[in-house]
Amino acid sequence: MTRIASPRMAIVGATGVVGTTMLAILTERNFPLSSLRLLASSRSAGTVVPTAWGDVTVEDLAIADPAGIDIALFSAGGARSLEFAPAFVAGGAVVVDNSSAFRRDPAVPLVVADVNDEAISSHNGIIANPNCTTMGLMMAAGPLHRAAGIDRMIATSYQATSGSGQAGLEVLLHEVDVLSEKPEDLANGAWSDPGSTLYSRPIGFNVLPHAGSFVDEHYTDEEWKLVNETRKILGDDSIRVEPTCVRVPVAVGHSVAATMFFDRAVGRDEALEILEGAPGVEVWGDDKVPTPLDAAGIDATLVGRVRETLGEKGGLNLWVVSDNLRKGAALNTVQLAELLLD
């Protein structure tokens, strides 16, 4: 793998909730870039963004010249990645892609920094960043899998609305405002639908057992990502995953309640020792259970409620929560870019 010193960087989708977090993280980590370009749609083109590297004018992706970039962090949706990433690669860039466009391509590594870093060296110009829900879960599952081999896992997610971008955040705030006007109606069934169309049902004061779009076998694409991406990241297609993805009225921070069974019995003490030694993971005790509000704005993935299974012995129940905009998206792309540095 060619390593790059002082890369010329670009963020594609720079004005989105993930893109702006990428810029913030590059700044926080004092990323050693030599130049920075910001790209988005024609709606944002011309906007001037003050950055640690000087003012940068947002370019229209559709007409921008993709040459002269060493590393491009793509976060403008899968359709843009499919259409534009190949031209960036042809122009000499390595693309770290935050969409689902290339994740299942066997020629594209799918990498969680601190879990399967070694996979990055096989890239051919595109590296895929995993789905935000799978990412946090893998921070705990990866080290446990290396120690004892995950045989099967039941995973239920509690996903924040910022996982649907800026639009998701706005819908949550709007619906909470509208529904708060008549709190008594939340208890007597007289509430009226605030009318947002982003989700299939209201998300304010509610829980939706429906994150993503329904695809095969009555599962959503978010649920299939948990199955397929877990197997690819852990390098084991035999792992059985039973996913349920739920949208909750949380702004930032995706949580997963997971039950895991291994090739051998794993007790709580061993699990705690493994997780406490895992990079990027913090284990919290029952005195302060980790929540999305705790995970929002920080880099660590928080793990709590580590328990031995009660029914079938030998497995573990645990709770994992991480910032979907940071470790779930922007932080991991920046960490992958750091792995490309000379």
Ligand X SMILES: NC(=O)c1ccc[n+]([C@@H]2O[C@H](COP(=O)([O-])OP(=O)(O)OC[C@H]3O[C@@H](n4cnc5c(N)ncnc54)[C@H](OP(=O)(O)O)[C@@H]3O)[C@@H](O)[C@H]2O)c1
Could you tell me the smallest distance in angstroms from the CB atom of residue 273 to ligand X? 31
Among 4, 7, 10, 16, binds ligand X (CB under 6 A): 16
Burial pattern 51-86, b for ≥16 Cβ within 10 A else e, equals: beeeebebbebeebebeebbbbbbbbbeebbeebbe
CA atoms within 13 A on the CB side of 204: 23
Phi, psi dihedrals of residue 230, rounded to the nearest 5°: -55, -45
- The closest of 139, 174, 176, 136 to 157, measured between CA atoms, is 136
Residue ranges in 127-156 that form contacts with ligand X under rule CB under 6 A: 132
Could you tell me the smallest distance in angstroms from the CB atom of residue 66 to ligand X? 13
- The closest of 62, 17, 18, 64 to 37, measured between CA atoms, is 64
Active-site residue flag, 218: no
Among 7, 77, 292, 304, binds ligand X (CB under 6 A): 77
Establish if 15 lies at the interface with ligand X (CB under 6 A).
yes
Residue showing the smallest CB distance to ligand X in the complex: 16
CB 88 within 8 A of CB 28: no
Residue 71 in tokens: 């590393």
Query: Alpha-carbon distance 151 to 148, whole Å?
Result: 9
Active-site residue flag, 245: no
Among 119, 120, 250, 325, binds ligand X (CB under 6 A): 325
Establish if 333 lies at the interface with ligand X (CB under 6 A).
no
Could you tell me the smallest distance in angstroms from the CB atom of residue 329 to ligand X? 4
**Considering only 12-20, 193-201, 262-270, 277-285, which stretch makes contact with ligand X by CB under 6 A?**
12-20
Establish if 166 lies at the interface with ligand X (CB under 6 A).
yes
Query: Alpha-carbon distance 149 to 264, whole Å?
Result: 8
CB 21 within 8 A of CB 14: no
Establish if 299 lies at the interface with ligand X (CB under 6 A).
no
Beta-carbon contacts of residue 173 (< 8 Å; ≥ 6 apart)? none
Number of residues that bind ligand X (CB under 6 A): 29
**Considering only 27-35, 118-126, 160-168, 285-293, which stretch makes contact with ligand X by CB under 6 A?**
160-168
Could you tell me the smallest distance in angstroms from the CB atom of residue 40 to ligand X? 3
Residue ranges in 35-74 that form contacts with ligand X under rule CB under 6 A: 40-41, 43-44, 61
CB-wise, 15 or 259, nearer to ligand X? 15
Residue type at position 29: R
* Catalytic residue annotation: 132, 254
* Interface with ligand X (CB under 6 A): 13-19, 40-41, 43-44, 61, 75-78, 80, 98-99, 132, 162-163, 165-167, 324-325, 328-329
